[in-house]
Amino acid sequence: MAKREKGGFWVGVAAAIVYPMSFVLGRHRILHKDRIPRQGAALLVMNHISHLDPCYDAVFVHRSYRVPHFLAKHSLWNVPIMGSILKGAKQIPVYRGTSDAQQSLRAAHEALENGQVVVIYPEGTITRDPDGWPANSRTGVARLALQHDGPVIPVARWGTLDLYNHYQRTFRPFPRKTITHLVGEPVDLSAYRGEEETLPLLREVTDLLMNSVKDRLAEIREQQAPEGFYGPRKA
């Protein structure tokens, strides 16, 4: 039997809250869970469609025997109880548009250097695409991917948008939804490693990674993915 990575007290507290909630709100289906390494660093690149995504993504990673380390907006650290859990579980606050913005990437780099699993939503926020396809993404994911040797794994998730749609202000827990995660093969970035990290190269790598996520999402949805990404580009 595979051993689960130990996360400590606060990860246990989070699991005690998130597991029952995710079970009540939806059935969980994970495809190709074996592609998540049981040890060592890994960067999981994921789409973002609902504010409930982190709940199910945390369970998905934990059920893959690893402890997730999310990049999340720093304001969540100010929420009572949640802030204590996030800090205790060593999640990574993102300070957008401030002098501390690079601190987020440094913390993510440290987590990868320490052999941990980092989960990143390159879109930065939930997509505004009416059909739930990925939006244009920020290039920080490319910097993380290129500066570490661990696997960079695209993961698509679908089902949480049917459960809670923020922009339409709808919450539909019944009938119980199926939340699906599909884990892709690690993306081969060997052609880009060692190259100067110019903005065009970072954009190309970012789009390569998110196209892989989009292809996995199309596979789950059994639909043809649209060309390109929704919305204006974000640096």
Residue 89 lies in a domain: yes
pLDDT of residue 60: 98
pLDDT of residue 106: 87
Q: Which DSSP string corresponds to the chain?
A: -PPPPP--HHHHHHHHHHHHHHHHHEEEEEESGGGS-SSS-EEEEE----TTHHHHHHHHHHHTT--EEEEEEGGGGGSTTHHHHHHHTT-EEE-TTSTTHHHHHHHHHHHHHTT-EEEE-TTSS----TT-PPBP--THHHHHHHT--S-EEEEEEESHHHHEETTTTEE---SPEEEEEEEPPPP--TTTTTS---HHHHHHHHHHHHHHHHHHHHHHHTSPPPSS-BSS---
Between residues 89 and 98, the one the model is more confident about:
89
Query: What mean pLDDT comes out for the span 141-165?
Result: 97
Residue 1 lies in a domain: no
Query: What mean pLDDT comes out for the span 154-177?
Result: 96
Task: Residue 82: give its domain's CATH number.
Answer: 3.40.1130.10
**How many distinct structural domains can be found in the chain?**
1
Residue 230 lies in a domain: no
Global confidence as pTM: 0.94
Query: What mean pLDDT comes out for the span 192-198?
Result: 94
Q: Mean pLDDT lowest for which of 81-95, 131-145, 147-161, 218-232? A: 81-95
The tens digit of pLDDT for each residue in 5-41 reads 988 999 999 999 999 999 999 999 999 999 999 999 9
pLDDT of residue 115: 96
Residue 123 lies in a domain: yes
pLDDT at 99 over 60: no
The tens digit of pLDDT for each residue in 103-123 reads 678 889 999 999 999 999 999
Range of the domain at 63: 9-166+175-221
pLDDT bracket for residue 234 (50, 70, 90)? low
Residue 105 lies in a domain: yes
Residue 122 lies in a domain: yes
pLDDT of residue 59: 97
Residue 235 lies in a domain: no
Residue 25 lies in a domain: yes
